[in-house]
Amino acid sequence: MRLKLFAIAAAAVALAGPAAGQAYDPNYPVCMHVYEGRQGGNYINCSFTSIPQCQATASGRSAICSENPFFAPPPPKRRAYRGRHHAR
């Protein structure tokens, strides 16, 4: 009996598939948190470059905009080193 229950549980887990995780996109500094209620679900959309851009998209919806806590700005460009030329 235990073996049968284990087989059923294992099959249920295998058929469920991978869970879709909510991820913050580190390439964009602003995220919109959308609250769709019980049927629609909640999700986060991190594809905005500014708060006003996000607010324009969120207008009229049950959503708020906030800074992305995982935003990773690109590293500053390195300046080329130019050493002194010594005259001989």
pLDDT digits (tens, 9 = 90+) for 26-60: 999 999 999 988 777 899 999 999 999 999 999 99
> Which pTM was predicted?
0.58
Q: Which of 41, 87, 80, 88 is nearest to 63 (CA)?
A: 41
Q: Using pLDDT thresholds of 50, 70 and 90, give the confidence band for residue 75.
A: confident
Identify the pLDDT of residue 21.
54
* Contacts of 80 by beta carbon, 8 Å cutoff, 6+ apart: none
Does the pLDDT of residue 64 top 60, yes or no? Answer: yes
